[in-house]
Structure 1
Amino acid sequence: MNRREAEEYLYCAMSIGEQLLVSGAEVGRVEDTIRRICLAYGAERADVFSITSSIVTTIYGADFGVCTQTRRVSGMVNDLDRVDQLNQLSREICQEKPTHEEIKEKLIQIQNRPHYSFGMQLLIYALVSGSFSVFFGGDWKDMAASAIIGVLLKFIEAFVKKGSVNSLITALICSTVGGFLANLAVYSGIGDHADLISIGNIMLLIPGIAFTNSLRDMFSGDTITGLIRFMESILLALVIALGFTFAGFILG
């Protein structure tokens, strides 16, 4: 394998690692996937370092020398289905060793797979908000109010994200609007308990998975990534609390 081919296969491995990281995979899985793919294509050594926002890989082979690529990673969502498909793709690559053109085509197929429709997402937001409101002691009026506010928050979130706004700003806007609407629902007689309505809406925003992933990374030995995710989760939770508190203070 010559240097140009090595660069192409390394680029494909980095793309798979980037998509894994963006989809919520742990950094240990990302590093191991990139390393295995590089070794499968003839690299004698592959050194991979990844944190939540960056991936750096250096490979060495007698035929192509030393190749290094860096990838800046931005934006993360929890998409376990994509993680599963990327894991399956990486296994197929290591076993069958397809060309880099075939790898790129399969990556495009995974990226373009169908997602939940916007209508389905609205329904999910309504169900999550209403269910948690009842779970924590709300009545049917609180459930209905929380479900309606959950739908409105999805509209607001989608609108705000179109402007590529920082995730903290998005959370602050949604939590402030959510708290304001919860108190307004009680004042207008639509709901009975503003706190129980807000709890249902908070569950849409709370970074529970990110916090759990941070602990998983630290226990796995990826201390830097774990601490970064831990601080991001705590900061996001504080912003959400600030938004709901600010809304209650205004109407209080």
Structure 2
Amino acid sequence: MIETSQVINTCLLAGRIMIENGSEMSRAEDTMKRIATNSGISTLKIFATITGIIISIPNSTNSQVEEIERRAIDLEKVSAVNTYSRRYAEKEITLEEFYQKLSTLDEATPFFPFWLQVLGAALVSGPLMTAFSGNMVDLGITTLTGAFGFIIFYFINRILNIKYISEFVASIVIGIVAVLAVRWGVGHSVDDIIIGSVMPLVPGVPLTNAVRDILNGHLVSGPARGVEALLSACAIGFGIAFVFRFL
């Protein structure tokens, strides 16, 4: 017979990994409830926010809290948790194996290597700028500026680990490069270059999750995520405004 404490620990770990890496609340809660149901516990009670998870079982003394200290975007980890959950539901793995796989996943490094992330940022910047403005002339410089801005964002995040500072500094660098590129004749439209280059920094997933959480009735997590996305957008905007003010 599976111990309830083991079920709760597995549910908490799965939920924390999903919320930390960009899952909406409804998906994380559904996954935790499915794990409990497949373990023979159909009465699991969950209270989840973006800063913590509380799980309890009625008529039982087992109740635990899991703190969520960081939030990032790594949908590969979210997908992996769902995959392990389906394998557990189909009895391909035991609960102990499920928990071990989650522990390994929790400590895993990002799935995509750094160079591929930079390449992705570059491919997002240039084509989106062209799609928005129809400007083909600045495609190359926007692609390079977007990649360079993402590199700055990535390393500041790793060194300082202070939220919003990385977006602010990266947007300043993007603005400076865009202005200098136009002044030196390499680019033609400062606005178009900046619009495309900041796209890898825009908090699209948090904003989408905020709307989905609100629509699903999560009136604590939804607005909190919305404010978080708004602050990121403000950091980007302030960085660009700083460049326009002094250059």
TM norm structure 2: 0.89
| 1:140-169 superposed Cα distances (whole Å, 9 cap, x missing partner) | 442222111112112212211112422211
**Letter aligned with residue 65 of structure 2:** T
Query: CA separation of 1:172/1:20 partners in 2, compared to 1, >3 Å: closer, same or farther?
Result: same
- SS of the residue corresponding to residue 48 of structure 1 reads strand
CA distance in 2, matches of 1:104, 1:46: 18
**Letter aligned with residue 93 of structure 1:** Y
- RMSD across aligned C-alpha pairs, in angstroms? 2.3
Of 127, 130, 141, 2:126 maps to 130
**Letter aligned with residue 215 of structure 1:** V
The structural deviation recorded for 1:104 is: 2.5
Q: How many pairs align? A: 246
Unaligned 5+ segments in structure 2 are none
Residue 197 of structure 1 pairs with residue 193 of structure 2: yes
Match runs of 1:93-242 below 5 Å:
93-96=88-91, 98-108=93-103, 110-111=105-106, 112=108, 115-137=111-133, 139-242=135-238
- Say which is worse superposed, 185-194 or 76-85, in terms of deviation: 76-85
Partner of 1:66: 61
TM norm structure 1: 0.87
- SS of the residue corresponding to residue 167 of structure 1 reads coil
Query: CA separation of 1:97/1:12 partners in 2, compared to 1, >3 Å: closer, same or farther?
Result: farther
The structural deviation recorded for 1:195 is: 0.8
Of 217, 235, 240, 1:244 maps to 240
Unaligned 5+ segments in structure 1 are none
- Is residue 175–residue 240 contact of structure 2 (8 Å, CA) maintained in 1? yes
Of 51, 55, 58, 1:57 maps to 55
Residue 92 of structure 1 pairs with residue 113 of structure 2: no
CA distance in 1, matches of 2:195, 2:124: 11
The structural deviation recorded for 1:243 is: 0.8
- Is residue 40–residue 97 contact of structure 1 (8 Å, CA) maintained in 2? no
Percent identical among aligned pairs is: 30
The structural deviation recorded for 1:179 is: 1.0
CA distance in 2, matches of 1:14, 1:122: 33
- Is residue 44–residue 60 contact of structure 1 (8 Å, CA) maintained in 2? no
The structural deviation recorded for 1:173 is: 1.0
